[in-house]
Structure 1
């Protein structure tokens, strides 16, 4: 049985902090592209890139299981002292990612025609969105490959390498976008080509990095691709994580749709708070990434006490981060609202729900952290089932609270959903620990 290294506060922060900056840089990338197109002063272009971005969120984010699977399986293999197995995980993950990306690229015409219309694209807005989508879809093999590469790097404990690749991706994207849109006047097509250039640059650099880190990626490739058990395990994990991710995306879409029934001003107010949560989640995701890596390593090494320490330390840091973010929004929330909207009714509605929105990071912190633990340990079935249970709790809470309390009831149901995710995962964790570590020691 492999002896895993001791997990310390310093080690947790060494993973979490770089990943926070990596995720924040990605958020900045999207803002710059939107701002560059918005600077052209054509509303249809801004709306077009907005709905196209939603389409790619659906297409790409729903496939982020490629990152979590590569991370969990490679971390467990390395914790068990099996670098060749870890390399085989990377090889299968990259092949699957590129194949799925090629499928998205090949079907880009159908995605543009049906997907953008389903999202409400019409007229000039649809035309702009189609122009962006037909080009941006070419980045899919690189984008999905980057999910697998990032997961593999984190599984190897190389969080700084992950940060460097994200910074490279975003720097190329932002620089290309600003020049293509504002200097060369390529319009929305320029923004799309910028996304392709950024993803391709990061993929090439990441591939070379992994080639040196994990050994030549062509070595043992045929054997890795013929390994049926490895593919079956990866398929099971990917299936469960996909269902979990789709349920999560549905919950946010449902929340937004229900807010829209309360009027345009309320919809805009809730959107402001969700923007804050999107930014706040980068901090929580950093500690989730640390939980993913160290949980996988400790499970692979059969180190039960080390695994328990990972859970305690990452939970403590996640709760501290959640509390800090909640306090920050309570103190500066009014200024954030004013920054994002000048409409008086929107500001008033946002101020009325500020307390509810401020509680979101603190309530969600255990869910983020335990998601990381379960991803790293590849306990995908439990994660899937608890997400579906939490979604059912959300819908029942919404049914009971929103008709009586309006937007406050909607936020209350949403907080119950986020809290239920942490509570349900925490409830199944002890049994999962007993089962896995008894099996390892048997």
Structure 2
């Protein structure tokens, strides 16, 4: 207990945590702002199909690229460890490999995007006007695909080098430019739906250029040279590809849970599925804030592991964990005391409000349960231990599905209890794995695995 107290009382660690967390919280909160402005701007156009096209087209685009936030996570972990080791050559290799992987994924997704969007629109069966406008928006939006994925990798790499301000600059420049260009292209130039897509594409390419400039400036301050021959050796790619594969599986499993919540809610009635969506927006709001602290953990713990600094690793976890707990308590109180206001702010439909009020206690408990999975995700990402994250997620999803099936007779109460169980399983399984690795002294020794990414000495296990 005295060790934890001493770690919490280390003020320099508090400053380092917030120096990373605060910019990431601000950048996270800028994301829903763009979606809100897009809807508001296009919502002032004369045809309802124009707003529908932006909503549907954006959803299709997000569905294709959303899971590839894995590029940010893997870049953060490997860059943080290389930065902790003071290995400028590995930093250069991680950046270039992440950008090349982003480019390859952009080509692959681009080839699949048209047939997949055709199939999705066929299932939706929109009107002819909505179908045509959605295709126009979506096809234009694909021109920004390489930049979207490159920005993800660049933000992760900058965060790994503990340049949260650089990551913030990339995200804010992209999102604020997107807002400004939307107003100009849609309302000023009267380009309609395609103007909104062009605004996003141009903003994303500008954001990628900002990220590349900041990364180049950061590398100028780091001694070391890129060993180009490693780009042509398979074993120098194995660790990065394995981590991205495992994080992708983990992310798809997580998305499956939220998809099933929507499906089951739909079966319980229109008002129920809408009410559940409003409540999950509360979790999304909490996650945006608490993820900032988790991302600070990624950078600080990855750096500590790279530097083989057990004390800094412990301090980073204790301080970030303490602030995460306080943040989750704040959100719990917000939803407990102001939950009705939060629901009313989102909808004026009385049937939906009435259903949402019933399930507000679940939302109030949710941040207290979910916060630990966010925090521990940061630790495992910083340590590039994606295999353990994947296994914990698959285990949690499997048991949560069984729990949901057992509680199906309780209706929406059973659904929310199963979701709380999933979040509890997710955090506790990661916690058990983290404790076991700690007992084995494996967190710091995992640096040797990270070095295998930077030096041609074999694949990461």
Normalising by structure 1, report the TM-score. 0.94
Alpha-carbon spacing, 1:242–1:118, altered in 2? closer, same or farther (3 Å) = farther
Q: Do 1:64 and 1:147's aligned partners in 2 also have CA atoms closer than 8 Å?
A: yes
Structure 1: 5+ residue runs without aligned partners? none
- Structure 1 residue 6: Cα displacement: 9.2
Aligned partner of 2:365 among 337, 359, 364: 359
Give the distance between the partners of 1:441 and 1:129, measured in 2 at CA.
47
The Cα offsets for residues 257-285 of structure 1, whole Å up to 9 and x where unpaired, read as 11111111111111111122222211111
- Structure 1 residue 212: Cα displacement: 1.2
- Structure 1 residue 116: Cα displacement: 3.5
Q: Do 1:7 and 1:309's aligned partners in 2 also have CA atoms closer than 8 Å?
A: no
Q: Do residues 18 (structure 1) and 23 (structure 2) align?
A: yes
Q: Do 2:254 and 2:393's aligned partners in 1 also have CA atoms closer than 8 Å?
A: yes
Q: Do residues 401 (structure 1) and 407 (structure 2) align?
A: yes
Q: Do residues 249 (structure 1) and 255 (structure 2) align?
A: yes
Give the distance between the partners of 2:11 and 2:329, measured in 1 at CA.
27
Alignment of 1:402-421 (within 5 A): 402-403=408-409, 405-421=410-426
Give the distance between the partners of 1:35 and 1:389, measured in 2 at CA.
41
Q: Do 1:108 and 1:133's aligned partners in 2 also have CA atoms closer than 8 Å?
A: no
Give the distance between the partners of 1:372 and 1:105, measured in 2 at CA.
30
Partner of 1:372: 378
Alpha-carbon spacing, 1:95–1:121, altered in 2? closer, same or farther (3 Å) = farther
Q: Do 2:383 and 2:443's aligned partners in 1 also have CA atoms closer than 8 Å?
A: no
Alpha-carbon spacing, 1:320–1:216, altered in 2? closer, same or farther (3 Å) = closer
Partner of 1:38: 43
- Structure 1 residue 51: Cα displacement: 2.2
Q: Do 1:55 and 1:116's aligned partners in 2 also have CA atoms closer than 8 Å?
A: no
Give the distance between the partners of 2:185 and 2:227, measured in 1 at CA.
39
Q: Do residues 87 (structure 1) and 85 (structure 2) align?
A: no
Alignment of 1:118-197 (within 5 A): 118=123, 121-197=126-202
Give the distance between the partners of 2:406 and 2:393, measured in 1 at CA.
20
| Structure 1 stretch displaced more, 41-50 or 358-367 | 41-50
Q: Do 1:97 and 1:148's aligned partners in 2 also have CA atoms closer than 8 Å?
A: yes
Alpha-carbon spacing, 1:182–1:226, altered in 2? closer, same or farther (3 Å) = same
- Structure 1 residue 247: Cα displacement: 0.5
Give the distance between the partners of 1:123 and 1:18, measured in 2 at CA.
44
Give the distance between the partners of 1:440 and 1:19, measured in 2 at CA.
26
- Structure 1 residue 224: Cα displacement: 4.0
Q: Do 1:75 and 1:300's aligned partners in 2 also have CA atoms closer than 8 Å?
A: yes
Give the distance between the partners of 2:242 and 2:403, measured in 1 at CA.
31
Alignment of 1:49-68 (within 5 A): 49-68=54-73
Give the distance between the partners of 1:426 and 1:118, measured in 2 at CA.
41
- Structure 1 residue 58: Cα displacement: 1.9
Partner of 1:389: 395
- Structure 1 residue 164: Cα displacement: 1.6
Alpha-carbon spacing, 1:65–1:110, altered in 2? closer, same or farther (3 Å) = same
Give the distance between the partners of 1:63 and 1:419, measured in 2 at CA.
25
Alignment of 1:279-428 (within 5 A): 279-403=285-409, 405-428=410-433
Alpha-carbon spacing, 1:49–1:440, altered in 2? closer, same or farther (3 Å) = closer
3-state SS in 2 of match to 1:321: helix
Normalising by structure 2, report the TM-score. 0.90
Give the distance between the partners of 1:379 and 1:435, measured in 2 at CA.
14
Q: Do 1:302 and 1:440's aligned partners in 2 also have CA atoms closer than 8 Å?
A: no
- Structure 1 residue 441: Cα displacement: 9.8
Structure 2: 5+ residue runs without aligned partners? 1-9, 449-461
Give the distance between the partners of 1:74 and 1:101, measured in 2 at CA.
22
Give the distance between the partners of 1:6 and 1:242, measured in 2 at CA.
36
3-state SS in 2 of match to 1:62: helix
The Cα offsets for residues 227-259 of structure 1, whole Å up to 9 and x where unpaired, read as 432211111001000000000111111111111
Alpha-carbon spacing, 1:441–1:334, altered in 2? closer, same or farther (3 Å) = closer
Alpha-carbon spacing, 1:157–1:343, altered in 2? closer, same or farther (3 Å) = same
Aligned partner of 1:102 among 101, 107, 131: 107
- Structure 1 residue 297: Cα displacement: 0.7
| Structure 1 stretch displaced more, 42-51 or 431-440 | 431-440
The Cα offsets for residues 24-62 of structure 1, whole Å up to 9 and x where unpaired, read as 011101111011112224322222222222222221121
How big is the alpha-carbon RMSD for the aligned residues of Structure 1 and Structure 2? Answer: 2.1
Partner of 1:220: 226
- Structure 1 residue 102: Cα displacement: 3.3
